[in-house]
Amino acid sequence: MKNFKNVLLVALFFVTATVLSQTKLTGTVVDEMGEPLPSASVVVKGTSNGVASDFDGKFTINVNSNSGTIVVSFIGYNNKEVAYTAANKNLGTIELEPSNVLDEIVVTGTGVIDLAEDRKTPVAVSTIKAAEIQAKAGAWDLPEVLKSTPSVQNIKGGGFGDGQMFLRGFDQTNTAFLLNGQPINSMEDGRMFWSNWSGVLDVSNAVQVQRGLGSSKLAISSVGGTVNIVTKTIDHKEGGYIRQMVGNNGYTKSTVSYSTGVSEKGWSFTGMFAHWQGDGYVDNTHGQGQTYFFSVGYQPNENNTFNFMITGAPQWHAAAGRGDVGDFLDNGIRFNDWNFEGVNSPNTLGNTGLYPGGRNIYHKPVANLSWDWKINDESSLSTVLYGSLGRGAFASYTSDGTPRTSYARGSFNNHNWFGLVSNYENKLNENLTLNVGADVRTYNGIHFRGAVELFDGPINFANDPNRPWEYNGFIGEPYTIDNDYGGISPWGMVFNPNNSHRQRIDRDYEEVITYYGVFGQLEYAKDDFSAFVQGAISNQDHQREEFYFTQQPGVSEKSKKVSNFGFNVKGGGSYLLDDQHKVFVNAGFYSRQPFHSDLFNNDRNSNSLVDPAVDNQDVLGLEAGYQFGSDKVDINLNAYYTRWGNRTDISTTGTPDTNSFVLTLDRNVTQLHKGLELEIFTKPIEGLKLNGFASIGDWKFDGDATRFTFDQNGGELSSGQVVSRDGQEVGGAAQTTAGVFASYKVFPSLTLDANWNYYANLFSEGTIAVELPSYNTMDLGLSFRPKLKERTYIKGIEFRVNVDNVFDELYLENVTTSNRDLADLANHPNDTWKGVNRRLQGRFGYGITWNASMRINF
């Protein structure tokens, strides 16, 4: 018994000594916005001793030594090491920085959203996280936020939402844009209308630009690359924010957002609403709109996750035209060539500024339902069901009828779009993973002209033999237009489903496009080596239905159904040379179906198919890359080669719906794009980020094309003309770009940043290539996050100021040429600005712009 007491006393002594020698550390973990990070991991380096932060980001951890290091980590953020000593027990606020990759921030649709991190074999990729998006977006569209990535060119356009994006020299019709795995390019012609997606930056967790072949498993065949937009879904953190922004030219935007976090029963809700309005940088390009987002998540157990999301961005904005270069130089870069005030409209209408040249009005609600099912430890299934109802028009002032009546005539482009994407993943063994899935879409496009606003009451039409293109839908039968489809309200257009063919003017047709494909991927990874092979097959059906030119109300004619089979195959491999160096190569071939607009002589007015039939495009892609990673420097170097053959170029001349209108199809067009891309990410000292990029491209047309021309009714004017484009530079985007981004934390609450971009070897788009002057722009930003007292309902406040193009650089961002320009160029060779003829049409970029915002997190 005595021995037992002695042992107990010794044990008690050692326990007491251990407890007394322990040091208690405290601190708070926050994100880049200053918001607490609950459940962040805090571990003593080199041990298993760790704790998690609480709901307010606070933690307390006992350590057994008077000095050492803790490692703080959180999903989607870089790990941070913090040293401690006996004299430094309160570590204060520890701010984590977003990582350059997405890691596991995506909670739903993980098997459908093709992110580069989901595959061990790399691709050429750049990722922009939520904090950077929120800081830099301002009043811009997505392409502006992506401009500081290699081989990306942003064209702002004239009005709100009129921007364009080029990737490796390919325009956005040839770049795949995905929203949570859902394809969102137009199924008719591949175009992107950023005015329909003006709110996507408000709800984005991240945007990933995959240049070239990318990692997408879908049966899509992008040429330039793939842009993955990943929105908020299930948010594990409860809280929200209020944000107010103001900017140049009367811009203002108010936003409110709130997330409940995940309840004990697995439910979560997130909602966001914003309203914006402004006068526009270009004259008479005012606009306004809203953004809404609502997400409901449900996790009944650890193996199943459901999420329903609906988002939309109803808006209207006045448009800007492309004027002669000389007109802008004479009138200022804010000049709007489409300002028709006092010309095509009475002063009373023109003075209101409602239709200075045209107004875009659109609302495209998008909804999707996702289900992630973890079947077992080796397999899972992800499925997304989606749909959208697009309603809207491009409206401009005109007058018609008997007697002539003033109204705003809209060219309506409505659609009903539904689809499903599903992916099954199975880890066959320790080294081999299989993915198989399906991609199904159906699209009904509804196109017509009607009244958007009736200024003088109903329009009474009667047969006018002098204007057959306008009235021959109802030859010999008068009719009346008295429905305005909701006026200039994008909300009204959604809730006014007037489908009467008797309310339509000079255009009324529909098309149905059905797409169905399957895809698969097999990846092998062991030790330092990985390799994959991937393939997809798909079929696409097209059919056009004409209502107007049948000359019989309510009677339609359908075109022949066209079916095109396509496929793609990709493969590649990577090798990890050591812990810091990795190399990879990828190759792929696409047999890509033509767009709907490529198939018809004039898809607005004719059911006639182009003869001979349009064949699939051929896309060959090759790329190689090198990656270096260390604590202070990350480097990505990529080389690429893309051959895009058997494509069709479409252009028009003359006035639509008149006998002067000519549609030109250049077929068998081939482009060769090759280049190098470099990205460098550095952290030379504490608080300083210094990143840079450069891309050098060589983009040219190869060989001859075959030209066909058609009149406004689809009648063939000429065919088989050989047009030489061999060696012509591909225009639209700068073939040489470079940029530097620097961010310095002056003190914990104040950060300054600067962004410099350079563009050279930029050529005009069109039938001839004219080199445009090189240019560079500088943007500056400031973020201020004052430290708040503890125990407050406000978790953080951020003030942000952006000033873009601070030196007010004057530059041409885009120029278009056509055959009609040849005579002007020959007759006026010396009438130039920096080597560009003043008679060419285009647009100048914006001068200095600014915005300032305040965000309150709660």
> Does 33 have pLDDT greater than 90?
no
In a domain, 437, yes or no: yes
> Does 31 have pLDDT greater than 50?
yes
* Least confident piece of the model among 98-102, 197-201, 416-420: 98-102
CATH code at position 222: 2.170.130.10
What pLDDT, in 10s, does the model give residues 694-738? 999 999 999 988 888 888 777 888 888 888 888 999 999 999 999
In a domain, 810, yes or no: yes
Q: Over range 210-222, report the average pLDDT.
A: 75
Q: Which residues pair with 558 in a beta bridge?
A: 545
Instruction: Looking at the structure, tell me whether residues 28 and 135 fall in a common domain.
Output: no
Q: Over range 452-463, report the average pLDDT.
A: 81
At 477 the pLDDT is 65
CA angle 684/687/688 to nearest 5° reads 45
Domain that holds residue 461: 239-857
pLDDT band at 341 (very low <50, low <70, confident <90, very high): very low
Instruction: Looking at the structure, tell me whether residues 310 and 441 fall in a common domain.
Output: yes
Which of 210, 231, 252 marks a domain boundary?
A: 231
Instruction: Looking at the structure, tell me whether residues 243 and 216 fall in a common domain.
Output: no
In a domain, 661, yes or no: yes
Instruction: Looking at the structure, tell me whether residues 215 and 346 fall in a common domain.
Output: no
Torsion sign, CA atoms 232, 237, 240, 243: negative
Domain count of the fold of the chain = 3
What pLDDT, in 10s, does the model give residues 481-538? 888 877 788 988 887 766 788 788 878 899 999 999 999 999 999 989 999 999 999 9
Instruction: Looking at the structure, tell me whether residues 40 and 188 fall in a common domain.
Output: no
What pLDDT, in 10s, does the model give residues 169-207? 998 888 888 888 888 888 888 888 888 887 788 888 888
CA 482 to chain centre: 38
> Does 758 have pLDDT greater than 80?
yes
DSSP strand E in 97-203: where? Answer: 124-129, 152-155, 164-167, 170-171, 175-179, 182-183
CATH code at position 268: 2.40.170.20
* Least confident piece of the model among 40-44, 105-109, 125-129, 757-761: 105-109
Residue 160 phi, psi dihedral angles, 5° rounding: -60, 130
pLDDT band at 783 (very low <50, low <70, confident <90, very high): very high
In a domain, 498, yes or no: yes
Give the residue among 450, 448, 474, 449 at the shortest CA–CA distance from 461.
Answer: 474
Euclidean distance between CA atoms 60 and 71, whole angstroms: 14
In a domain, 384, yes or no: yes
Instruction: Looking at the structure, tell me whether residues 698 and 655 fall in a common domain.
Output: yes
CA distances from 209 to 124, 177, 178, 521, 696 (A): 8, 9, 11, 21, 18
pLDDT mean across residues, the chain: 84
Give me the DSSP letters along 424-481: EEEE-SSSEEEEEEEEEEEEEEEEEEEEEEESSS-EEE---TT-HHHHGGGTT--EEE
At 14 the pLDDT is 42
SS3 state at 599: helix
695's CB contacts (< 8 A; 6+ apart) are 150, 151, 675, 676, 677, 678, 736, 737, 738
In a domain, 455, yes or no: yes
Instruction: Looking at the structure, tell me whether residues 219 and 261 fall in a common domain.
Output: no
What pLDDT, in 10s, does the model give residues 322-333? 788 998 999 999
Instruction: Looking at the structure, tell me whether residues 163 and 140 fall in a common domain.
Output: yes
Give me the DSSP letters along 670-712: EEEEEEEEEEEEE--STTEEEEEEEEEEEEEE-SEEEEEEEET
CATH code at position 30: 2.60.40.10
Instruction: Looking at the structure, tell me whether residues 165 and 255 fall in a common domain.
Output: no
Which of 231, 261, 286 marks a domain boundary?
A: 231
Instruction: Looking at the structure, tell me whether residues 778 and 727 fall in a common domain.
Output: yes
Instruction: Looking at the structure, tell me whether residues 142 and 91 fall in a common domain.
Output: no
At 345 the pLDDT is 42
The radius of gyration computed from the CA coordinates of the chain, to the nearest angstrom, equals: 29
At 535 the pLDDT is 93
Which of 231, 248, 282 marks a domain boundary?
A: 231
In a domain, 101, yes or no: no
| AA letter at 702 | D
**Strands ordered across the beta sheet of 23-30:** 58-63, 23-30, 90-95
Instruction: Looking at the structure, tell me whether residues 733 and 843 fall in a common domain.
Output: yes
* Least confident piece of the model among 156-165, 365-374, 530-539: 156-165
In a domain, 43, yes or no: yes
Euclidean distance between CA atoms 604 and 602, whole angstroms: 5
Is this structure's pTM higher than 0.75?
yes
Give me the DSSP letters along 131-149: HHHHHHHTT--HHHHTTTS
